[in-house]
């Protein structure tokens, strides 16, 4: 495969077509590290267009690493509210505290120290090093994977392993602008080499792409199945207020307010004639049975909420959806 001028072609395309994103603003080196840290945490399992307004609000309310390290949890969760996966916010604060205490408030610039920080794994550490520290690294996100699979026409299970895809990154060679180059390759995957209907005639490296030459763009993916889980939510109403509890049962919503609920068998869910709602999460499909209760009970760590004060509370998106549903009937 002829790789002549691959970095030059990719960067030329990027300079003319890159998206204007708030974490790409020209700021000081220290602020760029902070912007990258926050945006990469937010972008874990969340799309760019969803993250943008949350990032802008977060940076306005918590403008630097030192303030993040000492922000109170309520303010932190309010800034994160609606973005989901609240453990990311908790890990982000833990990371900020550790960076302040152990690294004098400066993000470490090596992969070993970065991976010791809460919530930072292989990809996030690589992204921070490439984007913030201008290290010659190509982070392997889903966009880069897809570009490589199409360039090399990788279809077999053994061809799309993490190990083999990392070896194929040699195709990209290196650039004198590592930060821009890493972002440029990911940008090609996001804007051109899309999962369906790739815009090949706009691609700067289509002449190097075997999938383009074969006119076959189907992507072989590892089999992933979202778990389907069934729940019963108990709806206690007192006039126009509803009973919610502080969650201490489900790890993924620790200490957030939810309706009293428990996991149930599929058979019970299917056989019930009560109102049901479906909520898709990135790692789970939640099917929730809404069971109205006539008699209010006393439950530890419970609260009564109505539509007027719900905005001041930190609630998971599915709690809001249940609330919106039950308040209509």
* Residue-level pLDDT at 98: 97
Which residues in the chain show pLDDT less than 50? none
CA 188 to chain centroid, in Å, comes to 19
**CA distances from residue 87 to 10, 81, 204, 248, 251 in whole angstroms, order as listed:** 36, 12, 38, 14, 9
pLDDT at 130: 96
Chain segment 62-99, per-residue pLDDT in tens: 999 999 999 999 899 999 988 888 889 999 999 999 99
- State the pairing for strand pair 241-246/302-305: antiparallel
Structural domains in the chain plus CATH codes: 6-214 (1.10.340.30), 229-326 (3.90.79.10)
pTM: 0.77
**What is the structure's pLDDT at 285?**
84
Of 4, 40, 122, 218, catalytic:
40
Assess whether 40 carries a catalytic annotation: yes
Tell me the per-residue pLDDT of 203-238, one tens digit each, with 9 for 90 and over. Answer: 999 999 999 999 998 887 655 556 888 999 999 888
HEC per residue, the chain: CCCCCHHHHHHHHHHHHCCCCHHHCCCCHHHHHHHHHHHHHHCCCCCHHHHHHHHHHHHHHCCCHHHHHHCCHHHHHHHHCCCCCCHHHHHHHHHHHHHHHHCCCCCCCCHHHHHCCCCCCHHHHHHHHHHHHCCCCCCCCHHHHHHHHHHCCCCCHHHCCHHHHHHHHHHHCCCCCHHHHHHHHHHHHHHCCCCCCCCHHHCCCHHHCHHHHHCCCCCCCCCCCCEEEEEEEEEEEECCEEEEEECCCCHHHCCCEECCEEECCHHHHHHCCCCEEEEECCCEEEEEEEEEECCCCCCCCEEEECCCCHHHCCCCHHHHHHHHHHCCC
The pLDDT of residue 91: 95
């Amino acid at each position: 495969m002829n790789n002549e001028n691959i970095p030059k072609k990719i960067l030329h395309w990027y300079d003319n077509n890159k998206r204007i994103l708030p974490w790409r603003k020209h700021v000081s080196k220290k602020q760029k590290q902070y912007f990258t840290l926050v945006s990469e945490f937010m972008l874990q399992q969340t799309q760019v267009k969803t993250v943008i307004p949350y990032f802008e609000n977060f940076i306005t309310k918590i403008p630097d690493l030192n303030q993040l390290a000492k922000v109170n949890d309520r303010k932190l969760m309010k800034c994160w509210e609606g973005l989901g996966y609240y453990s990311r916010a908790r890990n982000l604060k833990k990371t900020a505290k550790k960076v302040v205490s152990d690294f004098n408030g400066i993000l470490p610039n090596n992969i070993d120290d970065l991976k010791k920080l809460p919530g930072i794994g292989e990809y996030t550490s690589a992204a921070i090093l490439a984007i913030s520290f201008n290290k010659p690294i190509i982070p392997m996100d889903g966009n880069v994977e897809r570009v490589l699979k199409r360039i090399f026409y990788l279809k077999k299970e053994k061809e799309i392993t993490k190990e083999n895809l990392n070896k194929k990154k040699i195709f990209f060679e290196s650039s004198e602008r590592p930060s821009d180059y890493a972002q440029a390759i990911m940008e090609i995957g996001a804007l051109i080499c899309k999962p369906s209907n790739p815009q090949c005639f706009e691609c700067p490296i289509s002449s190097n792409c075997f999938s383009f030459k074969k006119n076959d763009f189907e992507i072989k993916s590892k089999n992933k199945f979202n778990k389907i889980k069934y729940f019963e939510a108990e709806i206690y109403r007192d006039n126009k207020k509803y009973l919610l509890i502080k969650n201490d049962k489900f790890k993924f919503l620790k200490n957030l307010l939810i309706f009293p609920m428990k996991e149930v068998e599929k058979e019970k869910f299917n056989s019930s004639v009560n109102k049901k709602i479906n909520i898709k999460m990135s790692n789970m499909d939640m099917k929730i049975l809404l069971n109205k209760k006539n008699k209010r009970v006393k439950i530890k760590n419970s609260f009564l909420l109505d539509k007027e004060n719900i905005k001041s509370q930190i609630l998971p998106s599915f709690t809001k959806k249940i609330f919106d549903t039950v308040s209509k009937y």
